[in-house]
Amino acid sequence: MARLADRQDFDRYAAAVHERWERLWAGDRWVISVGISGCSIGKGALETYRHLELMLAQEGVPATLRQVGCAGWCFAEPFVEVRAPGAPPVVYRNVTTDRVPELVHALKRGEVKAEWALGVRAEESFGGIHPLSQHPFLARQRRLLFADAGVIDPESIDDYIARGGYRAFLKALFEMTPEEVVAELKASNLRGRGGAGFPAGIKWESGRRTQAWPKYVVVNSHEGEPNVFKDRRLLETNPHLVLEGLLIGCYALETPHGYNYIGGEHALAVQRFQEAVRQAYELGLLGDNILGTRFRCHVRVRTGGGAYICGEGSALMYAIMGQRGQPRTKPPRSVEEGLWKRPTVLNNTETFASVPVILRHGGAWYASLGTEQSTGTKLVTIQGPVKRVGVAEIEMGMTLRELIFEVFGGMREGYQFKGVQTGGVSAGPLREDQLDVPIDFDSMTPLGGMLGSGGFVVFDESVCAVDFARYLTAFNRYESCSKCNPCRLGNPALVEILDRIRNGYGRLQDLDLIREASKYIIELSLCGLGQVAPMPLLGMMKAFPEEFDAHIREKRCPANVCPISEAALLAPIGDD
Amino acid sequence: MTHHAEPAEQIDLEPLRAVLASRFRPRDSQEAYELIVGACQEAQRLYGWVPPEATQVIADHLGVTVNRIYGLLTFYADFRTEPPGRHFLWLCHGAACYVMGSSRLIELLRERYGLEDHGVSPDQELTLHVFNGCLGVCDLAPVIQVDHHTYWGRLTPDRLTAAIDALKRGDQVEETDGQAG
């Protein structure tokens, strides 16, 4: 493949791949797509793919077998999409190898196998299969970043370009000045998707204002929280979208240095993003003199070693620089002094992926989505015993109740909703009566919750609030980088107190002791993660005070989880 | 962590040298520093751990000190500086898995198999890493990734015991439950 020399060259190339894409879907061969992503591989998608390959050859079905990315419906993995000649594409759910022969035989006979279908990609029902867009999981979603998820092959730049990819970058490069790009981003009011919600446009603008050289643009794809998996799914399913956002970021900052820091455990995300970078170099969308202009851009991929703290901005930069990933005091902010002590603009993966969408449709259009203070869409993930586990992209402002009970289908059979943990390990849970809160950056905070990066953990009556609080606090203890004392010593102290309560030796003043220790951790910790480390515990105490009380006063664990010992039952309740 | 007194097997460093020569070519000292973690990850992929000999090779190749490399190896949870057992269990202890009961699995592994986090079982058969983040296959929670490719999902203590016993015998472990939801 030759490097594209200029804009006309790109347009010719785009027209050619678009035509090939159209031909694929209009041809008289079957088109069979298998979703291959981290979670579908876990459920056997690779075996399904190989089995299909074998079966189609044996049965003599003239088919194009292709891989696509994840479409967010973890509950339906592994999924297979089949387009028979002349028919609309039908998505089948949970196609494990034991279902493959029956599926292929049925399809060959001209049956549609409606009972295994998730939906059909068409406006109207087909053979008793309802349109995918009416499926309860998708009906309330607004997909911008995930628009092509499960449709394109993530390892093919041609698929991405055929669907309009890199158009936003070309628009920026040929029709806009860097200032105009930043102005568009400011107009969109896009707020950082990593959790803090700082307006991205303002960050980019202050990055432009700094005068040191070189500057760096960094994507934070570390995603080390125990409760969210959206960024890796985005990288696995549409890596070019993130890369295009990073390219636009480098153009806006007028710098050739782009980085993506990806958590090392997200192996497939790393591999697919690296492949995307390689393809972009090959086509001349990365490198020197991109499309005949003076703009140059080089992207480096760096991987993490499994330390939650490296999701914190300054720690992440030290990690890239080959040091232990420990945060430092601010100011100077990283936008003034970041990577290699140079101005660095760092944003979350999802933030960068939103940038091409914003340039394509305009900042004002994007700002019209969602709520006034939290514009646009948000990727959210759900965990726990709900019917439809997965990644959803919703417009900001949907209530938590709608999200859990409509999009994700509510609780599984036999499970009773108790609460939902929000904001990763940085905030507290919400109870059933608080679920009408809208999902945006600000509404959950007064209730003790937080949007964070969009991970929600639903838990049921079998989970003990004290034990869950201990789990979340123990996470923060384990992941403390040990640089500052309040976090390094405070979190183990909290775990120790919680263990005392769990074992039935809780004292009446322990809850006050927790509050006091937490106060010091919050006020004195060095980095943002330390400052919120006690929040899940305090949130649990606020949401489920009766459970803490039962453990201490009655030496009883209502959920029957905690190891309250026989000896503790005999001992008097301590008060000093 | 257990200390291994017996001399380790001779480690073939050529594959590591080849990877370093082809894919780890820093143009300046900054880039050399940036590549340390990646080089160690390659070593761990090749050997299952990062042996001292490999550390020396990486240090020589990138022009950094061994001390600096150990500073990183001991900081990041993914790395092992001791040889692993025959099978590698990566137990997800993310919030989804916790809610679905991963604590019971950790307890079982400790009590029945003598396995601690980052430890090797006394019979040298199993290594356990408890992963504090999320493996991202939450629909299978609680889940363990085995030998970097197979997943055991929706585990109960009984199913885990059966799976480990089958693994040790070298039998095929029953497939995970993919029909969920």
Average the pLDDT over A164-180 and give the result. 98
- The alpha carbon dihedral of A51, A54, A59, A60 has a sign of positive
User: What integer pLDDT is reported at residue B180 of this predicted model?
Assistant: 37
What are the helix and strand counts (H, E) for chain B?
8, 4
- pLDDT, tens digit, for every residue of A428-441? 999 999 999 999 99
Q: What are phi and psi of A493, to 5 degrees?
A: -65, -45
Nearest to A312 by CA among A189, A207, A407, A196: A196
User: What integer pLDDT is reported at residue B10 of this predicted model?
Assistant: 86
pLDDT at A13 over 90: yes
User: What integer pLDDT is reported at residue A568 of this predicted model?
Assistant: 87
Nearest to A37 by CA among A239, A202, A246: A239
Quote the CA–CA distance of B125 and A107 in Å, as a whole number: 46
Smallest CA–CA distance, residue A511 to chain B, in Å, is: 24
Average the pLDDT over A229-238 and give the result. 96
Tell me the pairing of strands A90-92 and A117-120. antiparallel
Type of residue at B19: V
pLDDT at B2 over 60: no
User: What integer pLDDT is reported at residue B176 of this predicted model?
Assistant: 52
Of A306, A319, A320, the CB nearest to B77: A306
A228 touches chain B (CB under 8 A): yes
Residues 35-54 of B with CB under 8 A from A: 35-38, 40-41
B100 touches chain A (CB under 8 A): yes
B143 touches chain A (CB under 8 A): yes
A468 touches chain B (CB under 8 A): yes
Quote the CA–CA distance of A155 and A237 in Å, as a whole number: 9
Query: B50, B88, B132, B144: which to substitute to probe chain A, counting the most A Cβ within 10 Å?
Result: B132
B165 touches chain A (CB under 8 A): no
Nearest to A538 by CA among A521, A560, A563, A525: A521
A34 close to A80: Cβ distance less than 8 angstroms: yes
User: What integer pLDDT is reported at residue A102 of this predicted model?
Assistant: 97
> Considering chain B, what is the average pLDDT of its residues?
90
Average the pLDDT over A538-544 and give the result. 97
Query: For residue A469, what are its two tokens?
Result: 């609080």
pLDDT at A279 over 70: yes
Quote the CA–CA distance of A427 and A448 in Å, as a whole number: 6
Smallest CA–CA distance, residue A460 to chain B, in Å, is: 8
Query: For residue A8, what are its two tokens?
Result: 């006309």
Cβ contact B133–A305 (<8 Å):
no
- pLDDT, tens digit, for every residue of B79-89? 999 999 999 99
- pLDDT, tens digit, for every residue of B29-65? 999 999 999 999 999 999 999 999 999 999 999 999 9
pLDDT at A524 over 80: yes
- pLDDT, tens digit, for every residue of A93-126? 999 999 999 999 999 999 999 999 999 999 999 9
A132 close to A93: Cβ distance less than 8 angstroms: no
- B144: chain A residues, CB-CB within 8 Å: none
Smallest CA–CA distance, residue B128 to chain A, in Å, is: 15
A183-210: b (≥16 Cβ within 10 Å) or e:
bbbbbbbbbbbbbebebbbbbbbebbeb
Tell me the pairing of strands A30-35 and A63-68. parallel
Residues 6 or more apart whose Cβ sits within 8 Å of residue A421: A227, A428, A429, A456, A457, A459, A468, A472, A536, B95
Bridge partners (DSSP) listed for residue A348: A220
B19 touches chain A (CB under 8 A): no
Quote the CA–CA distance of A277 and A346 in Å, as a whole number: 19
- B94: chain A residues, CB-CB within 8 Å: 226-227, 383
Smallest CA–CA distance, residue B149 to chain A, in Å, is: 8
A164 touches chain B (CB under 8 A): no
B30 touches chain A (CB under 8 A): yes
Which DSSP category does A5 fall into? -
- Number of Cβ pairs < 8 A linking chain A and chain B: 168
Chain Cα centroid distance, residue A544 = 29
Query: For residue B97, what are its two tokens?
Result: 């898995």
Q: What are phi and psi of A328, to 5 degrees?
A: -125, 170
Query: For residue A421, what are its two tokens?
Result: 């943990």
Which DSSP category does A182 fall into? H
Burial class (CB in 10 A: 0-12, 13-18, 19+), A128: exposed
Residues 6 or more apart whose Cβ sits within 8 Å of residue B158: none
Cβ contact A42–B176 (<8 Å):
yes
Cβ contact B41–A303 (<8 Å):
yes
- The alpha carbon dihedral of B47, B141, B153, A388 has a sign of negative
Report the predicted TM-score, pTM, of the whole model to 2 decimal places.
0.96
B122 touches chain A (CB under 8 A): no
A560 close to A478: Cβ distance less than 8 angstroms: no
User: What integer pLDDT is reported at residue B149 of this predicted model?
Assistant: 87
- Identify the three-state secondary structure at position A54: helix
Query: A79, A270, A389, A422: which to substitute to probe chain B, counting the most B Cβ within 10 Å?
Result: A389
Count other Cβ atoms within 10 Å, centred on residue A112: 19
- A75: chain B residues, CB-CB within 8 Å: 139, 180-181
Question: What angle do the packed helices B52-62 and B66-73 form, to 10 degrees?
Answer: 120
Structure-token match 């079905």, residue found: A61
> Considering chain A, what is the average pLDDT of its residues?
96
B167 close to B87: Cβ distance less than 8 angstroms: yes
Residues 6 or more apart whose Cβ sits within 8 Å of residue B120: B2, B82, B83, B84, B85, B126, B127
A317 close to A344: Cβ distance less than 8 angstroms: yes
Of B100, B135, B140, the CB nearest to A43: B140
Which DSSP category does B74 fall into? T
Average the pLDDT over B128-145 and give the result. 93
Percent of chain A residues past pLDDT 90, beyond the cut: 95
- pLDDT, tens digit, for every residue of A315-341? 999 999 999 999 999 999 999 999 999
pLDDT at A572 over 90: no
User: What integer pLDDT is reported at residue A117 of this predicted model?
Assistant: 97
Average the pLDDT over A476-494 and give the result. 96
pLDDT at A196 over 90: no
User: What integer pLDDT is reported at residue A145 of this predicted model?
Assistant: 97
